[in-house]
Structure 1
Amino acid sequence: MTTTGTTANAGASTAPRRVVAGPRGWPFLGSLPRFGKDPLSFFEQLRNRGDLVHWRFGRTTSLFVADPECIGELLAHTEHTFDQPDLGVAFRTLLGNGVVVAKGKDWRRKRSLVQPSVRPSQVRSYAATMAACAVALADSWTEGQRIDVKREMSALTQRIAVRTIFGVDTAADADAIGRAMEVAQHEIGAEFSGIGALLPDWVPTPGRARIKKATAVIDAEVGRIVARHRAGDTDRPDLLSRLLAAQDESGTRLTDREIRDETVTLYIGGHETTSSTLVWAWHLLSANPRVREALTDELDRVLGDRTPGFDDYAQLTYTQAVVKETLRLYPTIWLLTGVAKQGASLGGRTIPPGTRIWTSQWATHRDPRWFRDPHEFRPERWMDGAEEIPEYAWFPFGGGPRACLGTRFALVESALILAALSHHHTLTVHPRTLTPLPGLTLQAAGEVEGTVRRRK
């Protein structure tokens, strides 16, 4: 399968890239009101102005980056000439100082401890759980049943997450953490795109109170599960047991607080992102019968009557392409941001220290320069030789040294669930027009209803 047809540096010009002016904005607020009202449309408008666009987020000098070559520079040089920004009190309240937030030596230590838990060999061991949970859901569906697609996909990925990450399988664990995570995600999105983004940490707001309450529920659940693991056998295949046993070069293990931060981070990556991707995939398949038929043809050919497993993943090339094309049109992580340090540059142009750098998967993934008919759902574009797609024109999991550790987990999980459910059922989503809601992840707004039909 072709993921890139050219490299980020192909055809690079020796002349520095031109920085163009963005919207003038308001005093003190800058363009925050326009960004907060519709951030996806706002970033598309900036992209249409140029590859490097100057704007203001509040009083912070900001630069929007649309070109894949410059995006690659930004991601490759994070931890060197670009730094992780402070994403606000709501974000820190939920994620603490996990590997997504940590910097410098602390980040390198945590990454080295977490990474072995999500290596391909470990993902293989989780694949059976992914498929088994999906088959159990499929077996519970009846002909003509109307379902809440968001709820069904959320419950499924929650169950997989609590099994693979925490090593437990009770409804109470999944429900308590899931409800709290839903509140936390909403409040992070609301603060990040609203006036809360400009308020000092000490200013109390109703949203901050809600996320603290939700985080307390998450902390209590994770703390209880960690205590259960410590009191019992930690030599088990779940992610939490591997984190509890991990040691750095000095023989030091992760503290309870660090364990909490990393498990919450992994939970979001293993549950929220996959759940959202699947909802969008059903939406797109419902509106494109040709693609659905090509998908089921592959499943019939590769699987026969078998349940999909890890060894089938490599053969399900069209299924993988459906997942990739879904992530192109509806990237779960829709925004990345950094801060320029001394010596930073993009596209041959020096970037002043302190400049806030922004790039959006949503805007770049829909750029007609990199994708033919960018608004069309066309999984074939990811098949070998179909289109030449520059590196970092598609980056749903980021890239560079801080690329998402759970990328492999998420791609395998999405494909195996889609295969298991589509092999024997047709799920039609209605209405076929869904509104994307950007928060911590990109969700479909409102309820998403669907009808299940058994394939003959």
Structure 2
Amino acid sequence: MTATLEPGTLTGPRGWPLLGNLPAFARDPLAFFEDLRDRHGDWVPWSLGPRRALLVSRPEHVTELLAGVEHSFDPMDLGWAFRHLLGEGVVVATGEDWRRKRALVQPVVRPRQVKAYAATMVEYAARLAESWEDGRRVDVLREMAGLTQRIAVRTLFGSEAAGQEEAIGRAMGVAQRELGAEARGLTLFLPPWVTTPGRHRLRGAVHRLDQEIERVIAEHRAAAAAGEERDDLLSRLLAARDDTGAPLSARELRDEAITLYIGGHETTSTTLVWAWQLLSRSPGARARLDAELDSVLGDRLPTFEDHARLPWTQQIVRESLRLYPPIWLISATAREGASLGGRALPTGTAVWCSQWSVHRDPRWFEDPLAFRPERWDPDPPLRTVEQAWFPFGGGPRACLGARFALVEAVLLLAVLARRFHVDTGPGLARPFPGLTLQPADPVPATLRRTGTA
């Protein structure tokens, strides 16, 4: 039997006229969703300005929601800023357009392709380690962002964009901040023609990105026309054809390049920053990491095959993603006839779920605020509900770059940790929920050379 979910049948937070719960959401969205979960339960109606919304927090309902996108739910329109950056890429597209683009993009990031880029990941990490010095103070956020930017530019665009990593990274950083600010404020509801200072900065950043991507695409087309074969992701996108034999258009190439760049850079860099901080506070976990790296790698660099031989390193990454998921929020809009957990939803209801909130729920993860990589052991000592871990989303629209990001994070952590302890001290940076969950401030650390380096 299906119950009907109607306004007034569930309790939620009181809101302001017209603004609803937007002020509380904008002030601290992470705390806001935790508060909704703790004070109001697993089904919480709330209002994002004039939009009627529903937060769901049970893993089975989250799984059902993610599986239902494209037939019972539509991906939510997150506003002008989000579309301005990502265009109509596979993350934003719907229906037949989404199915076509996913079929074209998915082969580019399959495990076989990820394996081909593992050597590049290791090479760039080794270069960074060679530049580090014992006792040196560094900003880990800057170091990890620079590393993953270089890898993303090389694997995505090839050598043509070499030297542009910092410019691309700065532009993407501005876009990230402004998109996060817009999604949490009143500007979310403003029409596209309204120009605010934040939107002006976003337009400038996106223009810079578009210029660089347009230049690299033109060089790739010229190389392809001359019969030159290249092994980067953009070349594979250029060669992709749909069922009718049609390629991606110039605009579609741009949109997918931006999407892949964010997935290949932002996710890994922020995961590593959090991992270094968590390891600095957990000497036992760090000692077990050292022992695994010594046993498996000795004095050599890792290869793609070593990813499977480093289970503790994988568990550190997995636990870091649990505590600090780069993608911290997912939403979808109910179509006519949609239901969830046996409840019929009014058409147009925006259904939200938060990785941050679910990953830190004591019902699914015992001692949820503690960094405990052993919770992912084959026979874990702590209660863990695997269905409650979804840092890359799930269902048909799960992140296509998840495999790339997981392999990259493990290999980079292995290369750098084999040579250095990155001591960030006992504190943890304040998270800033923008496009991804980033540290709000620089993360200073002292580099300590390991005894096996």
- Give the TM-score taking structure 1 as reference length: 0.95
In the other structure, the counterpart of 2:16 is 26
Q: What is the 5 A alignment of 1:155-234?
A: 155-168=146-159, 171-233=162-224
After superposition, the C-alpha distances for 1:25-66 in whole angstroms (9 at most, x for unaligned) are 001100000000000000001111211111111111100010
In the other structure, the counterpart of 1:447 is 442
Structure 2 counterpart of 1:166, which letter? F
**Aligned-residue offset at 1:392:** 3.3
Give 2:30's match in structure 1, choosing from 27, 40, 58.
40
Q: Distance in 2 between matches of 1:130 and 1:211?
A: 30
Q: Distance in 2 between matches of 1:292 and 1:15?
A: 50
Query: 1:333·1:396 contact (CA, 8 Å) conserved in 2?
Result: yes
Q: Distance in 1 between matches of 2:383 and 2:370?
A: 16
Structure 2 counterpart of 1:37, which letter? R
Query: 2:4·2:345 contact (CA, 8 Å) conserved in 1?
Result: no
In the other structure, the counterpart of 2:408 is 413
3-state SS of 2:164 partner: helix
3-state SS of 1:314 partner: helix
Give 1:154's match in structure 2, choosing from 137, 142, 145.
145
3-state SS of 2:317 partner: helix
After superposition, the C-alpha distances for 1:375-408 in whole angstroms (9 at most, x for unaligned) are 0000000111215533431000000000000000
Give 1:63's match in structure 2, choosing from 12, 33, 54.
54
- Give the TM-score taking structure 2 as reference length: 0.96
Query: 2:366·2:383 contact (CA, 8 Å) conserved in 1?
Result: no
**Aligned-residue offset at 1:169:** 6.3
Q: Distance in 2 between matches of 1:199 and 1:421?
A: 45
In the other structure, the counterpart of 1:96 is 87
Query: 2:30·2:357 contact (CA, 8 Å) conserved in 1?
Result: yes
Q: Distance in 1 between matches of 2:110 and 2:377?
A: 25
Structure 2 counterpart of 1:208, which letter? R
**Aligned-residue offset at 1:430:** 3.5
Query: 2:154·2:161 contact (CA, 8 Å) conserved in 1?
Result: no
Structure 2 counterpart of 1:32, which letter? L
After superposition, the C-alpha distances for 1:195-227 in whole angstroms (9 at most, x for unaligned) are 111222222211111111110000000000011
After superposition, the C-alpha distances for 1:209-246 in whole angstroms (9 at most, x for unaligned) are 11111100000000000111111146321100000000
Structure 1 counterpart of 2:341, which letter? G
- Which range is displaced more, 14-23 or 399-408? 14-23
Q: Does 1:248 align with 2:239?
A: no
Q: Distance in 1 between matches of 2:313 and 2:130?
A: 21
In the other structure, the counterpart of 1:10 is none
**Aligned-residue offset at 1:84:** 1.1
In the other structure, the counterpart of 1:121 is 112
In the other structure, the counterpart of 2:320 is 326
Q: Distance in 1 between matches of 2:441 and 2:94?
A: 36
Give 2:329's match in structure 1, choosing from 335, 338, 361.
335
Q: Extract unaligned runs of 5+ from structure 2.
A: none
Structure 2 counterpart of 1:21, which letter? T
In the other structure, the counterpart of 1:382 is 376
Give 1:401's match in structure 2, choosing from 396, 413, 424.
396
Q: Distance in 1 between matches of 2:78 and 2:14?
A: 23
- Which range is displaced more, 152-161 or 386-395? 386-395
Structure 2 counterpart of 1:370, which letter? W
In the other structure, the counterpart of 1:8 is none
**Aligned-residue offset at 1:445:** 1.0
After superposition, the C-alpha distances for 1:253-298 in whole angstroms (9 at most, x for unaligned) are 0001000000000000000111111100000000111111111111
Structure 2 counterpart of 1:189, which letter? G
Query: 1:71·1:392 contact (CA, 8 Å) conserved in 2?
Result: no
Q: Distance in 2 between matches of 1:254 and 1:300?
A: 46
**Aligned-residue offset at 1:24:** 1.2
In the other structure, the counterpart of 1:312 is 306
Q: Extract unaligned runs of 5+ from structure 1.
A: 1-13
Q: Distance in 2 between matches of 1:17 and 1:298?
A: 53
- Which range is displaced more, 130-139 or 389-398? 389-398
**Aligned-residue offset at 1:431:** 5.9
Structure 2 counterpart of 1:418, which letter? L
Q: Distance in 1 between matches of 2:341 and 2:89?
A: 31
RMSD: 1.4
